With several copies, the nearest count.
Chain A
Amino acid sequence: MPRKTYVAAIQEALSEEMRRDPRVFLIGEDVRIGVFPSTRGLHAEFGDKRVIDTPISELAVAGAGIGAAVTGLRPVVDLMFGTFLYLAFDQIANQAGAMRYMYGGQTKVPLVFMAQNGAGSSAGHHHSQAVHQFFMNMPQIKVILPSTPGDGKGLLKSAIRDDNPVLFLHSLSLGGKRGDVPAEEYLIPIGLADVKRAGGDVTICAAGPTVYTALDAADALAAEGIEAEVIDLRSLSPWDKQAVLDSVAKTGRFVAVDESFPTCSAASEWAATVAAEAFHHLRAPVQRVTNKDVPMPFSPTLEKAVLPSAEDVIAAVRRTLA
């Protein structure tokens, strides 16, 4: 199977879907040149009309995507960094994420917002936050955060074909990661988790970059004979609750690993759900591993200290076994 980088796989999903459906187009700041390689080369193939550079105006660009979506197009709105979504928050939460419902089902909003999520490049707080937890709270938006090139491609293609608004987040820290990407056309359904490592002793639930943190921890634990099951959720909303509950039914132990500030995080949601719905299987308290509860510092030393680490995960697993 061809091996590609995470960003190249995203680019491939975009170009394939743009070829397939003339209503699909890309709009955002510097999508022509491609600040991230995820959009690079598309302008050469699709031209000015389908790869649209905009002024630096996140609110209007997001809203323009919505307006285009409700009038027959299928926009992919690239908002670059997750934190820039804050400037478009109203359009996403109040408009895209409610329109169909608010208008009594009169319209649909087939739209993908795309942005890079999380930290890992020592760029300081303004360029290093994970934002998925905010959008998971919104009832009418789907949220995706893939961890591998293959998942990224298959999920972005599904997102583009979905008739609902989808926030497709890709992790900056995984941009250069390589992985298998099938040569033939394929889709990965939104809402389906992937067990990235099987194990019977503890369930570790992760998404995006924390999948690797979890896998590293699982490797280290395996050396001691502790077999962790690592579930990569891939889709955060809707999420594959059943896969997690089934795993916990088997292991009786649960660790949520999430790159985000701790309070009201995805980890909180996963842990609360497991505690509510798999309580009788639990043999130990649920554990959460997230960022430390501080803004994201710049220095690589500090940034590393704030992000969830394999050591943190190992410690959490040990707590479930104590």
Chain B
Amino acid sequence: MHHQGISLDVLLDIYTCVLRIRRFEEEVSRLFRQGQLPGFVHLYIGEEAVAAGVCATLTDEDTIISTHRGHGHVIAKGGDIKRMMAELFGKASGYNKGKGGSMHIADFDIGMLGAIGIVGGGIPIAVGAGLSAWYQDSERVSVCFFGDGAANEGSFHESLNLASALNLPVVFVCENNQYGEFTPAARAMNICDIADRAAGYGIPGLVADGADALEMYRVARTAAQRARDGDGPTLIEAKTHRRGSHAEGEEAFLAGQTYRSEEELAAAWAKDPLLLLHTYIGEQNLLPAEQLETLDADITQSVREAVDAARNSPDPKVESVFEDLWV
């Protein structure tokens, strides 16, 4: 890990982002276990450095598309954890007025074009956002997050090829956390690096350490710049690990079965993106320890406030089912 070419401001932003995602997701996990959240939640713990590093290279004009595991992307793009938390509770004050839930959070005002619950379903839409940028002669970049599992969907293939054929400003970020649900990537494909698929579309394919937020930042910056320069799309594969369940409460699905070993999990924790960054900042004396502690306390507090606000928000009115249908 190193921060060459990265300003202290940016570093602090990235660190803040990683931490905010972590604290948010930890709270969501608790809430889910307490039976307070409806539906399914898929947490981003262990993968925070990917969204944090990538989104730190983007402006508010740039857009992202997310997945079922989307809370981290929303936060990294600058989303409001209050409105997100309220949405997880299904409340009227949520981002989607309770109509979306965990798998469908969007904030169009900050270029977060939505999470998509269909695996791979967001990739073509990101190509379209890139097409817009190209059409409008804008410097906007369209970033698409998706998993290793999604890389086996037809939408992945068609989308990367389409973006390449039209030379669009899209950055495809594959979060290879080694599993699609309970199926290891190694069983779902006979290649080590998904980035190798980029060659099949004539675009660059880069592997990055998804535990290293600073590396993610540098790689994404290169890809985003390439896109802005009119040189077309890039595929970035972030090697990462999800620390918890596929979906919270996966124990119920597993019913005593296991799909990854304790050693594997321990090895993954050893590369905890939050810890790595925290340690690096400490070792390099980049920011005072007290500042980091205050930051953590503030974030933890804001998450708590988000929960309180969400809990105290009203349910959507039944009549609102008929709203938001037609323009």
Contact = CB atoms under 8 A, between A and B. Distances in A.
A and B touch in the complex (CB under 8 A): yes
Interface of A: 25, 27, 29-30, 32-35, 37, 40, 49, 52-73, 75, 83-84, 87, 90-91, 94-95, 99-108, 110, 121-127, 139-140, 162-164, 292, 294-295, 297-302, 305-306
A312 to B, nearest CB: 13
A262 to B, nearest CB: 13
Interface of B: 38-40, 63, 65, 87, 90-91, 94-104, 106-108, 113-114, 116-121, 123-133, 135-136, 142, 149-150, 152-155, 158-159, 161-162, 165-166, 180-183, 187-189, 253-255, 257, 259, 315-316, 318, 320-327
Nearest to A91: B124
A124 B131 contact: no
A40 B255 CA distance: 9
A71 B63 contact: yes
Given A68-B129, A71-B129, 10 more contacts: A29-B183, A63-B121, A64-B128, A75-B128, A103-B99, A123-B39, A126-B117, A127-B40, A297-B99, A299-B99
Contact of B253 (A33, A55, A69, A300): A33
Contacts, number: 276
Contacts of A140: 325-326
B280 to A, nearest CB: 35
B43 to A, nearest CB: 16
A84 B130 CA distance: 24
A221 to B, nearest CB: 24
A301 B99 contact: no
Contact of A68 (B40, B87, B128, B182): B128
B132 A67 contact: yes
Given A298-B96, A302-B98, A73 B323 contact: no
15 contacts: A35-B253, A52-B166, A57-B159, A63-B125, A94-B117, A101-B324, A104-B99, A105-B323, A125-B104, A127-B40, A162-B327, A298-B100, A302-B321, A305-B318, A306-B321
B108 A57 contact: no
B90 A126 contact: no
Contact of B136 (A67, A72, A87, A126): A72
A127 B113 CA distance: 19
Contact of B106 (A55, A83, A107): A107
Contacts of A56: 119-120, 149-150, 152-153, 180, 188
8 smallest CB-CB distances across A and B, nearest first, come from: A67-B128, A63-B124, A298-B101, A126-B117, A299-B90, A60-B158, A299-B98, A105-B324
A101 B99 contact: yes
Nearest to A88: B124
B99 to A, nearest CB: 4
Given A57-B162, A100-B327, A104-B324, A67 B114 contact: no
Contacts of A49: 135
A100 B108 CA distance: 11
A147 to B, nearest CB: 23
A267 to B, nearest CB: 19
Contacts of A84: 118
B156 to A, nearest CB: 9
B255 A60 contact: no
**Max count, chain B CB within 10 A of own CB: residue among A27, A124, A126, A292:** A124
Q: B113, B118, B121, B183 — which one has the most chain A CB atoms within 10 A of its CB?
A: B118
Contacts of B120: 56
Contacts of B136: 72-73
A67 B127 contact: yes
Contact of B128 (A34, A71, A127): A71
A110 B327 CA distance: 9
Contacts of B165: 54-55
A106 B107 contact: yes
A126 B116 contact: yes
Contact of B315 (A87, A106, A299): A299
A76 B105 CA distance: 27
Contact of A122 (B38, B118, B132): B38
A283 to B, nearest CB: 32
B112 to A, nearest CB: 10
